[in-house]
Chain A
């Protein structure tokens, strides 16, 4: 598996923040319509800050790992800070991905933004 970083392998073997949040106030479930990869993100936002994040993922390993890394990167961030997150930030967080797998990071950022949009609508 030479194309993946050590942090990638660590997140794949030991996913962080997996699951659902019953008390979530921002949830998004996005799918890549072409390949079928799916990411579900549930956030607990209090005082404009992401207190807790959980994810579920179906798809190739980069999608699973991007979900795990994303929840670590956004926990503790304000909503505005989270909105500033880019695909490049996430790619750096997973230790890089081969170009043919970078759509996984794009799906994760789309899911984050969709969840934050939902928070705006609900609050």
Chain B
């Protein structure tokens, strides 16, 4: 600090004496314009946002505000059982000859003093109470001797010290015996340190025993909040987990450095596009076949369990044979064919196995749900996982089959490219590309046609086919010389666009669609959050992939590793810490989002909070907000601690 010195400030721009006034004049004009423009912008802003200072100063608004803030400051955490408490004093109406002296009350306990202690019926009396609870409300009654009749006189409110004084008219009722002036207050029973059991006066219908409650106890608002906050945290957990599972593979597709070099010969691409719809068709057929077989199998539990044990063993042996851990010499074509056949067989067995496993899960889950007692929720978890598995088998099978056929078509393309003269390939590419383009275009058009309920075959088949064919031809012509198309970058841009589009829609809005699909509740909320998580995480993850060190990638590639091996051995080790860090960060965000996703029907604490605010139940709302604050803060702390340790 010692050697800081004040330097003379120089004007940055060299100015000639003659020029200076003009330039500074222009500058002030510019400044004035900016000020005027700024004023206009903010004035317009005031106008459209209805800034109204009168509302701020309004007396009624202020009272309301104070009331709400005070209620918010007293979260409804603890409920006291309150019972009516009588505090009696005697009065004699009318006054006897000798006057009347009521029994003296204990000055240390709660008591009321009536003056005068006797008088004509209907006389005005002063009632003072001492040692009541502070700020409590109560009612004064006049009770004739030997009866249960309570004649209402007036209400009272104690001050902070628990005392009050009111003047009331007595009822015009003459009795020879002393009558009772009774102050009835509703008093909290017990204290936090001295909890008591209170008889509610009701009787259990089944056992006939009187129902007792503890006072004070945790309030209904607090228990509801507890239930909902648990729901909220797990909603966020499920959404994050589901999102991560999808986002991780997607992030590789959206990483420029991995996709940049992926290019493919046009002939290969065209053949693959042709194989895609065929593959999906074959895949659906295969899934259906496996389901039929499994339905026949599941009639016997013995077969199901036997199959579920035997199939993996058989598959393992077959795969061990087909794919030796080391391959020293290139396989012959017979070996290749045999391997292909074995792989196809294993795939069908795999689908069958999945059906069996899903069936096992469902039956075991259902059994556990009925007989598991406390663990019934695990049963329901297993059985719904079985359901999910069964539902996705057909889709995955179709996709995997399509993928397999596409890779076979790709190999055919590579093989053709190596065997057939280049100009023949080039010319064969054009019609193939046209057909492939037509097929893809028709598929897309069918999708759009379904969305807008178009059935005209001209619009959803012939025109798209023609356009697609032209587009395919155009692409093939463009790549005519190079013979390669950079499919990787296309996928990259496509993935990026989709992620950005999804990411720009807030989960609060997405949940509206999911509520229509799966109904109000936390499930809709977790689906909406999961979708948003996929898009957001895939983007964050892919940026991490893009920033990895290229060196190891190069080194692993140079050993002869294929793409999958390169990713597993060179990319994955580098991205594990940032992936974990981003996942925690996202869970953090999801917990925060899930606290309000209930506002749009997505379940969790937000649903409760919204209800309480609408019902003007601010003390309960305050409990909800408190819970949100605690959960969000502790998640924040926890995730930052975990991130610190990992990264």
Does B bind A? no
